[in-house]
Amino acid sequence: MSKGERISQFVQALEGETGPTGSGAIAEHPYYRAFFRCWNDQRYYEAHDVLEQVWLQRTTTAEDAQYFKGLIQAAGAFVHLQKQFEHPTHPKHGRRLGPAVRLFQLAEKNLGPLGEQRHDLDLVKFREILSRYCGAVQSEGKNPWTPETAPKVLLSK
């Protein structure tokens, strides 16, 4: 089974009775919605994977490609924070704060020019979350992420 097939099955399992609407709108795409569901369940790696499928397989505008790339980078940054939190003394996972900062910065670079809202996501609030976590790592040199304080991201519709 290919990665795409595994992710398709994963998204179908997440959707349950609320399947795709068929409207073609990105905000209603099942993989796009699955990204936020995974994010809010602190499944950042899976969030990255499902949205990557949309980014790589969908014909998108340059701005949408930039948007998806920024969201994927943001999820990647939280993968690093989560792994570092779970295994702070591990030789690999203990050194994940620097890569998290770099991904936060790349996400901001991609999302910054896209305005205040896109595909039902309040980008101002989302960028504030990224900035807050990145800033905490940079200023304090420690991981601000915990399962209890993990940010939730909701779409406006």
**Domain 3-140 coded CATH 3.90.1150.10:** no
pLDDT tens-digit map of 77-133: 999 999 999 999 998 888 999 999 999 999 999 999 999 999 999 999 999 999 999
Say if residue 38's pLDDT is above 70. yes
d(CA 25, CA 29): 6
What is the reported pLDDT for 22?
44
Unique residue bearing structure tokens 């919605």: 33
Pick from 107, 88, 125, 110: which is nearest to 44 by CA? Answer: 107
What are the angstrom distances between the C-alpha of 5 and each of 1, 12, 53? 6, 11, 10
Q: Where are the domains of the chain?
A: 3-140
For residue 56, pLDDT beyond 90: no
